[in-house]
Amino acid sequence: MSQAQRPATRVAIQTADFDLSQTVAALRAGDGGVGAVVSFVGTVRDRHGAQPGEVSAMELEHYPGMTERAIEAMIDAALARFDIRGARVIHRVGRLAPGDQIVLVAVSSAHRGEAFQACEFLMDYLKTQAPFWKKETTPDGARWVDARVADDAALARWGLPSANAGEAGTA
């Protein structure tokens, strides 16, 4: 997809909830070549570890502008790597409760295989590389945790460098 064809709404960082069906309809609108749309919706869990009910709220922060540019670059990488027609990422910020929707990744393509792969690629990339910071509220109080889970296996699967590559050899 060329720069001229890039829709202005590929990435949204927002406090408001999102509607999966509206997002999919917008992704498909006016494109008769779409044969598949694959989506992933992530929700806030009530736990960080193994104990249910341990997280009562999560607050997400980001750097406006920087976060959107990073996610746009992720979508550009997916467009270069996979035969997809479009992609959309919505990520919520602010205070969220367990069960709330937090992230949506949707990808359109002519065929399902490319859409599945690109959606998973984007979610792995988003989870490990996107600049978000989160604070979890638990019975023991609130604590900041890195929202970018350093899942080296997810990155390696796509041939991407480790999120911790810069830390190797440091003491």
Q: Is residue 52 situated within a structural domain?
A: yes
Tell me which residue range forms the domain holding 133: 3-157
What does the pLDDT average to over 42-46? 92
The structure tokens listed for 169 are: 């050899």
Counting Cα atoms < 13 Å in the Cβ hemisphere of 66 gives: 8
pLDDT digits (tens, 9 = 90+) for 142-169: 988 866 666 666 667 777 776 654 443 3
- pTM equals 0.83
Nearest Cα to Cα of residue 92 among 105, 102, 84, 83: 102
16 domain-assigned: yes
Q: Is residue 168 part of a domain?
A: no
Q: Domain tally for the chain?
A: 1
Q: Is 21 a member of any domain? A: yes
pLDDT in tens, 93-144: 999 999 999 999 999 999 999 999 999 999 988 888 888 888 999 888 898 8
